Amino acid sequence: MTFDYPFILIGFTIFIPIIILDIINRKKRAMLADNLVKRLNFSLLFFRLFLVFAIAALAGPRWGTGYAPAEYRRGLDTVFAIDVSRSMDIQDAQTPNLLQSRLERGISIASETISSVAGARFAAAIGRAKGYLAVPLTHDNEAALVFLESLDGSSMTGRSTNLESLIEAAAGAFQSASAARKVIVLISDGESHSGVMRNAVNMCARNGIIINTVAVGSDEGRRIAEHANLEGSPLVISRRDSAVMRTTAERTGGIYIDGSREDAALLLGSHLLSIARDIKPGSGRKESKQRRALFIMLAIAAYAASKFVTRQSGKNTFNQKQNLKKPVAHVLPFAFITVLLFVFSSCSEGKILLIEANYLHSRNRHEEAAVPYLKALNHEDSAPYAEYGLGLTYYLLEQEEEALKKYGNSQKLIGVSDDNEHRELRYRNYYNSGIILFEREEYHLAAASFREALKTDPKRIEAKRNLELSLLSILMESKKENNTDQQQEQREILFDYLREEEQQKWKSSEWNPEENNTGSDY
Positive or negative: CA dihedral 210, 211, 214, 218? negative
**Same-domain check for residues 79 and 149:** yes
Give me the pLDDT at residue 477, please.
80
Range of the domain at 109: 74-228+236-278
The one-letter amino acid code at 354 reads L
pTM (two decimals): 0.45
- SS3 annotation, 258-270: ECCCCCHHHHHHH
Question: Which parts of 279-396 fold into alpha helices (H)?
Answer: 292-308, 318-324, 328-346, 349-362, 366-376, 383-396
- SS3 annotation, 204-272: HHHCCCEEEEEECCCCCCEECHHHHCCCCCCCCEECCCHHHHHHHHHHHCCCEEECCCCCHHHHHHHHH
The one-letter amino acid code at 174 reads F
Give me the pLDDT at residue 88, please.
83
Please give the span between the terminal C-alpha atoms of the chain, in angstroms, as a whole number.
103
d(CA 464, CA 355): 30
Q: Is residue 190 part of a domain?
A: yes
**Same-domain check for residues 195 and 52:** no
Q: Among 321, 346, 371, where does a domain finish? A: 346
CATH assignment at residue 222: 3.40.50.410
**Same-domain check for residues 112 and 162:** yes
Q: Is residue 431 part of a domain?
A: no
Collapsed DSSP state (helix, strand, coil) of residue 331: helix
**Same-domain check for residues 184 and 306:** no
**Same-domain check for residues 250 and 302:** no
Q: Is residue 81 part of a domain?
A: yes
Q: Is residue 382 part of a domain?
A: no
* Contact criterion met (CB below 8 Å) for 447 and 471: yes
* Contact criterion met (CB below 8 Å) for 151 and 46: no
Spatial neighbors of 104 by CB under 8 A, at least 6 apart, are: 93
Spatial neighbors of 504 by CB under 8 A, at least 6 apart, are: none
* Contact criterion met (CB below 8 Å) for 161 and 194: yes
> What is the β-pairing status of strands 2-3 and 237-238?
unpaired
- Count: domains in the chain: 2
**Same-domain check for residues 193 and 97:** yes
d(CA 215, CA 189): 5
User: How many degrees, rounded to 5, is the angle at CA 103 between CA 126 and CA 372?
Assistant: 50
**Same-domain check for residues 41 and 188:** no
d(CA 416, CA 423): 10
d(CA 20, CA 227): 84
d(CA 108, CA 122): 15
**Same-domain check for residues 22 and 162:** no
**Same-domain check for residues 27 and 148:** no
* Contact criterion met (CB below 8 Å) for 211 and 186: yes
SS3 content of the chain, % helix, strand, coil (to 5): 60, 10, 30
**Same-domain check for residues 115 and 167:** yes
Q: Is residue 43 part of a domain?
A: yes
Q: Is residue 187 part of a domain?
A: yes
Give me the pLDDT at residue 183, please.
93
Judged on CB neighbours under 10 Å (0-12, 13-18, 19+), 336 is: middle
Q: Is residue 499 part of a domain?
A: no
Q: Is residue 46 part of a domain?
A: yes
d(CA 151, CA 81): 12
> For the CA atoms of the chain, what is the radius of gyration?
35
Per-residue pLDDT of the chain in tens (522 residues, 90 and over written 9)? 778 778 888 888 888 888 888 777 776 766 666 777 777 778 888 888 888 888 888 888 876 554 443 334 557 889 999 988 888 888 877 776 778 888 888 999 999 998 888 778 899 998 887 888 888 888 778 888 888 888 765 555 455 678 888 899 899 888 776 778 899 999 998 887 666 788 889 899 888 899 999 999 887 877 765 544 445 555 667 788 888 888 889 888 899 999 888 888 888 988 888 887 655 444 444 445 667 778 888 888 888 888 777 665 444 444 443 443 444 444 444 454 444 444 444 456 777 778 878 877 777 777 777 888 888 888 887 888 888 988 888 888 778 888 898 898 888 888 765 556 788 888 888 999 999 998 888 888 988 998 888 888 888 888 888 888 888 888 888 777 666 666 666 666 666 656 666 666 555 555 455 455 454 433
**Same-domain check for residues 105 and 193:** yes
Give me the pLDDT at residue 184, please.
94
- How far from 217 is each of 96, 108, 193, 227, CA to CA, in Å? 13, 14, 17, 18
> What is the β-pairing status of strands 237-238 and 222-223?
antiparallel
**Same-domain check for residues 100 and 245:** yes
Give me the pLDDT at residue 211, please.
93
Q: What is the DSSP letter of 66?
A: S
